[in-house]
Amino acid sequence: MNAQATAHQPDAGTIRRSWFTLNGVLWALQIVWGFFFAGSGFGKVLLYDGALYAAAPRAVAWYAAVPQPLIVGIGVVEVLGGIGLLLPAITRVAPRLTPLAAAGLALTMLLAAGFHVVRGEYALVPATVVLGAVAAFLAAGRADLRPVEAAPLTTRRVLTSVAVLVLMVLTVFVPTWYTMTHTQF
């Protein structure tokens, strides 16, 4: 029986690692959705500035229907959700926050889809539904299917997290800030 069991196991030389696994797909989506939501949210957070808020409805029509504090609040939720998709899983400190962040973003997108339907902005609904559905998939994937296990914090994980945050600042926050503060809507 032992010989049969070992006969069906591939030897170490034939095992290939692939990112096209559920874990790899979840990580890829976490990165893309984390950066997207952090950037999208940061643009809304910048609307705390009265001048930017006054000009924003020329670029995004629905901003005119929402009070400034609510837009900024939604932005804060999106920034924290985007960061929450990445940092708890990377550091493995409280990784159960990752599916909670994903679930919060899915709920935010569900509410946004409802808002757009009520306003008759049907063209905005499909993108909102896709963003929410993928966030719900991430929530389910990291909560039940492929959870990230908690582990002691290491120097490598801290440095990786800092690198991710720096990359997010340089590729998402700075360009968003520059675009919003240096262009006319």
pLDDT digits (tens, 9 = 90+) for 156-171: 999 999 999 999 999 9
Residues of the chain with pLDDT under 50: 1-2, 5-8, 10-14
pLDDT computed for residue 20 by the predictor: 79
Contact 147, 114 (CB under 8 A): no
In terms of C-beta distances under 8 Å and separation of at least 24 residues, what long-range contacts does 89-92 make, across chains too? Answer: 89/27, 89/30, 89/142, 89/148, 90/157, 90/160, 90/161, 90/164, 91/153, 91/157, 91/158, 91/160, 91/161, 92/148, 92/149, 92/150, 92/151, 92/152, 92/153, 92/157
The pTM assigned to this predicted structure is 0.86
pLDDT tens by residue, 5-38? 444 454 444 455 655 799 999 999 999 999 999 9
Predicted local distance difference test score (pLDDT) of residue 18: 58
